[in-house]
Amino acid sequence: MGDAYKVDMPGPMAPPPYDQQPGNQYGQQPPVAGGPYGYGPPQTGTYPMSGPMPPPQYMNQQVRPPMPVPSDHFGLSLFACLLCFWPVGICALIKSSETRDAIRRNDLQSAHFSSGKARSYSMCAIITGIIFNLVVIGFVLILTFVVFRYAQIYVDSDI
């Protein structure tokens, strides 16, 4: 019954005979620094340099410095909303809030994008507010001049 599973392999295909001696299965191993199993302090002179290892150098890979955390321009957005032109100022406040959320998520690319939009909307609201206020002041001055002029004509005409 044991012979049914035995397969004889002729020629060079036969496996090498099993060596029954323990510890001699793989032949003589080269000595390892720091003891028989590689543990312990390294022997002197085995490493080409002493001190900490330099960082690995990768070909065609540039190391970029980390991106700085952008400003959310909240104060500028609030100023633009309350004192200049509120419809665009609200958009600036929304982008400022998106910048804070992106910073909290550590998504600096989106934070930079939203920060730039918040600043742009704030500047647009400030410029629009200044122009709008100048137009209103000009309109009030012209209306005041016209009203006083017609009032003067009405008083002088003795109706």
Total residue count of the chain as it appears in this document: 159
Residues contacting residue 38 through CB under 8 Å, at least 6 positions apart: 32
Tracing tokens 């500028």 back to the chain, one arrives at 76
Determine the Cα–Cα distance for residues 76 and 92; give it in Å rounded to an integer. 9
- For residue 42, what are the CA distances in angstroms to 3, 53, 56, 117? 53, 15, 22, 58
Q: Encode pLDDT of 68-118 as tens digits.
A: 888 888 889 999 988 888 889 999 999 999 999 998 998 888 999 999 999
Q: Over 70: is that where the pLDDT of 17 sits?
A: no
**Does the structure show a pLDDT above 90 at 127?**
yes
pTM comes to: 0.52
Give percent above pLDDT 70 in the chain: 57
pLDDT for residue 152: 78
